[in-house]
Structure 1
């Protein structure tokens, strides 16, 4: 399958493709091989995940994040290694956070929650969700369920004793007090995200909001997995594989 065909198909999946920021937040960054037989997916583009792709003979990497500009020198190093191994790369960031099969919705589905509202608007993309449970659950049960899904320990602060009914969630980088404030204004019992910041913990304590923090990487993995599976459904001959990433944030 041609890379250009896959790119066009992915574009067709998104209702937000007319957003002015869409192509800044997604797209092909490196064109290695054009003939795609095997796709590897993961959250982050790093030298380690590229090495995983090389070892698994991947033709195209699909990631949630491009290499971050503020990890100085990483983007150039990744581009060089991708080209050296003739591997193409596609990323999809904010559009995947927003869409109905993306990062937030995929984790919400796995947690067995119901979406009440999209929240946390950034550049025209909704990066958060307000959700509810069918039946009230304990804070401890929610923590255990999330740890099982992410396959890593999470950090949790219980600042009130009531059972959980309404949950605010921002997969990945929702660690700011402004993010938590949205969940508080929507009367959530707990807020879940993937970045730990002192100010947000203090704010959660101050307002009596339960707080659960997983990792940026693994709170977002299910969205990029969903995208890769949609490509597989469209093109049956393509093989997909999850590229393993280290649980750096849980150490």
Structure 2
């Protein structure tokens, strides 16, 4: 029953495990093999990442996102393919955004910033952060550093010239003006997220807020990587590998 044991271990990593929405936002979606020797991790569950798992002889896929319901037919197609390949799947969404080793904290750590406040409460989970740099940096240096971490070009709009000290961050889908408004109210110098629409940019310009947009997929990869590493620390005989995903959003 290795799969169930791993699931129990993961659940106990989270302080939010008693949240009413915890099991809606995380869990095993497909039980293939129970004997887990190799785990593959990535942000999204798609047919492409399932094929990557098959090629790499993965027994269990860990993802941040389950297959999306609003991509009509994808969830059923993924389930069928996972069962065909006898691969198990576990996802963890909002709890991973919230936790200390998760999506937002992991990217902030890699940027060398200090967390000041948890923000953007959704269903009892804090999906954003306010962070500060020990020393002010230029906007251009921050853009370059984020792009290097994500291994893709990021989009950036400079709407004021001051040094960057205080950062608002929502990894993934933080492109609504209501998300950006929190960074404005917290007196941030820049807002970083993984999605944008016209209104995001126009509101940032209106408020004089610097804006950096990475991709939804790769602003969130480091959280699921951290989770996979925790499983590896507990089960030393298990191998973990990163499943490659295409930089579709950077094209």
TM-score (norm 1): 1.00
Give the distance between the partners of 1:189 and 1:196, measured in 2 at CA: 18
Equivalent position SS for 2:187: coil
Is the counterpart of residue 129 in structure 1 residue 132 in structure 2? Answer: no
For residues 186-219 of structure 1, the C-alpha deviation after alignment (integer angstroms, 9 at most, x for no partner) is 0000000000211010000000000000000000
Give the length in aligned residue pairs. 251
> Structure 1 residue runs of 4+, over 2 Å off?
none
Give the distance between the partners of 2:197 and 2:115, measured in 1 at CA: 26
Give the distance between the partners of 1:92 and 1:188, measured in 2 at CA: 29
Where does residue 204 of structure 2 map in the other structure?
A: 204
Give the distance between the partners of 1:228 and 1:55, measured in 2 at CA: 19
Equivalent position SS for 2:44: coil
Where does residue 177 of structure 1 map in the other structure?
A: 177
- Equivalent positions of 1:55-204 (< 5 A) are 55-204=55-204
Deviation of 1:128 (Å): 0.1
CA RMSD of aligned residues (A): 0.5
Give the distance between the partners of 2:63 and 2:165, measured in 1 at CA: 32
Equivalent position SS for 1:40: strand
Is the counterpart of residue 29 in structure 1 residue 29 in structure 2? Answer: yes
Deviation of 1:178 (Å): 0.1
Equivalent position SS for 1:76: helix
Give the distance between the partners of 1:246 and 1:159, measured in 2 at CA: 30
Where does residue 242 of structure 1 map in the other structure?
A: 242
Give the distance between the partners of 2:168 and 2:206, measured in 1 at CA: 17
Give the distance between the partners of 2:197 and 2:20, measured in 1 at CA: 31
Where does residue 215 of structure 1 map in the other structure?
A: 215
Equivalent position SS for 1:188: coil
TM-score (norm 2): 1.00
Deviation of 1:84 (Å): 0.1
Equivalent position SS for 2:115: strand
Give the distance between the partners of 1:177 and 1:65, measured in 2 at CA: 23
Give the distance between the partners of 1:156 and 1:34, measured in 2 at CA: 45
Where does residue 20 of structure 1 map in the other structure?
A: 20
Give the distance between the partners of 2:196 and 2:144, measured in 1 at CA: 18
Deviation of 1:141 (Å): 0.1
Give the distance between the partners of 1:11 and 1:123, measured in 2 at CA: 17
Give the distance between the partners of 1:155 and 1:72, measured in 2 at CA: 29
Give the distance between the partners of 1:216 and 1:86, measured in 2 at CA: 28
